[in-house]
Structure 1
Amino acid sequence: GNLGLHYVQLDLAQLVYTTTPLFTLALSRGLRGTCHHPLQYAAMGPICLGASVSLLSEVHFSRPGCCFLLAATCLRALKSIQQSTLLQDEKLDSITLLCLMSLPSFCILFLAALVLEVGPAWDGSLQYDSALWACILLSCLGSVLYNLTSFYVISLTSALTIHVLGNFNVVGNLVLSWLLFGSHLSGVSYIGIGLTLVGMFMYHNCDLIAGYWHARLGRGQMKPD
Structure 2
Amino acid sequence: MISADGPSTKSEETRDAGDRRRQPPEMLHLMFVVSVWLVTGTTISSLNKWIFAVYNFRYPLLLSALHMLTAIVVDYGLIKCRMIQHRGVGEQDLTTSAKCKVFLLSLTFCASIAFGNVGLNYVQLSFAQMIYTTTPLFTLAISTLILGKQHHILKYTAMMPICLGASFSIMGEVQFDQIGCLFVFAATMLRGVKSIQQSNLLQEEKINSVFLLYLMAIPSFCILAIAALVLENWAALQSPFQYDHHLWGFILLSCLGSVLYNLASCCVITLTSAVTLHILGNLNVVGNLLLSQLLFGHELTALSCVGAALTLSGIIIYQNSEIIVAYIDTRRARTPTGGSGEDVVCVKENDSNISKTPEGESSAEAAQEPNERTENQVHEKMA
TM-score class, shorter: 0.7 to 0.9
After TM superposition, give the deviation of residue 143 of structure 1 in Å.
0.7
For residue 191 of structure 2, the aligned residue among 61, 76, 100 is 76
Partner of 2:139 in structure 1?
Answer: 24
Residue by residue, what CA displacement relative to the aligned partner does 1:140-190 show, whole Å, maximum 9, x if unpaired? 1111122223345567645x875565345334666899xxxxxx9969847
Residue by residue, what CA displacement relative to the aligned partner does 1:72-101 show, whole Å, maximum 9, x if unpaired? 111111112111111222111122111101
For residue 326 of structure 2, the aligned residue among 204, 208, 212 is 208
Residue by residue, what CA displacement relative to the aligned partner does 1:91-118 show, whole Å, maximum 9, x if unpaired? 1112211110121111111111211125
- Is the contact between residue 168 and residue 196 of structure 1 (CA under 8 Å) also seen in structure 2? no
- Is the contact between residue 27 and residue 77 of structure 1 (CA under 8 Å) also seen in structure 2? yes
User: What TM-score comes out, normalization by structure 2 length?
Assistant: 0.46
| Pair 1:39-2:154 in alignment | yes
| Pair 1:133-2:251 in alignment | no
Q: CA separation of 1:175/1:37 partners in 2, compared to 1, >3 Å: closer, same or farther?
A: farther
Q: Distance in 1 between matches of 2:310 and 2:184?
A: 26
Q: Distance in 2 between matches of 1:209 and 1:161?
A: 18
Identify which range, 3-12 or 149-158, moves more after superposition: 149-158
| Pair 1:146-2:261 in alignment | yes
- Report the aligned-residue RMSD: 4.0
Alignment of 1:1-225 (within 5 A): 1-47=116-162, 49=164, 57-117=172-232, 119-120=234-235, 122-152=237-267, 157-158=273-274, 165-167=280-282, 169-171=284-286, 189=305, 192-193=308-309, 196-197=312-313, 200-201=316-317, 203-204=319-320, 205-211=323-329, 214=332, 219=337
SS in 2 for 1:83: helix
User: What TM-score comes out, normalization by structure 1 length?
Assistant: 0.73
Residue by residue, what CA displacement relative to the aligned partner does 1:191-215 show, whole Å, maximum 9, x if unpaired? 8547734752564223234315745
Kindly provide the amino acid, as one letter, of the partner of residue 206 in structure 1.
I
Q: CA separation of 1:139/1:192 partners in 2, compared to 1, >3 Å: closer, same or farther?
A: closer
Q: Distance in 2 between matches of 1:59 and 1:50?
A: 16
Q: Distance in 2 between matches of 1:47 and 1:149?
A: 27
Residue by residue, what CA displacement relative to the aligned partner does 1:6-31 show, whole Å, maximum 9, x if unpaired? 33222322232221110111112233
- Is the contact between residue 14 and residue 55 of structure 1 (CA under 8 Å) also seen in structure 2? no
Highest relative contact order (Cα 8 Å, sep 6+), 1 or 2?
Answer: 1
- Is the contact between residue 164 and residue 310 of structure 2 (CA under 8 Å) also seen in structure 1? no
Question: Can you give the 5+ residue segments of structure 2 that lack an aligned partner in the other structure?
Answer: 1-115, 293-299, 343-383
Q: Distance in 1 between matches of 2:302 and 2:258?
A: 32
After TM superposition, give the deviation of residue 45 of structure 1 in Å.
2.7
- Is the contact between residue 202 and residue 209 of structure 2 (CA under 8 Å) also seen in structure 1? yes
Kindly provide the amino acid, as one letter, of the partner of residue 110 in structure 1.
A
SS in 2 for 1:90: coil
Identify which range, 27-36 or 122-131, moves more after superposition: 122-131
Identify which range, 140-149 or 34-43, moves more after superposition: 34-43
Identify which range, 98-107 or 113-122, moves more after superposition: 113-122
Q: Distance in 2 between matches of 1:74 and 1:192?
A: 19
Q: Distance in 2 between matches of 1:176 and 1:11?
A: 9
Question: Can you give the 5+ residue segments of structure 1 that lack an aligned partner in the other structure?
Answer: 178-183
Kindly provide the amino acid, as one letter, of the partner of residue 75 in structure 1.
L
Q: Percent of pairs identical after alignment? A: 52
After TM superposition, give the deviation of residue 130 of structure 1 in Å.
3.9
After TM superposition, give the deviation of residue 42 of structure 1 in Å.
1.6
- Is the contact between residue 171 and residue 193 of structure 1 (CA under 8 Å) also seen in structure 2? no
The count of aligned residue pairs is 219
After TM superposition, give the deviation of residue 40 of structure 1 in Å.
2.1
- Is the contact between residue 43 and residue 202 of structure 1 (CA under 8 Å) also seen in structure 2? yes
Q: Distance in 2 between matches of 1:101 and 1:52?
A: 34
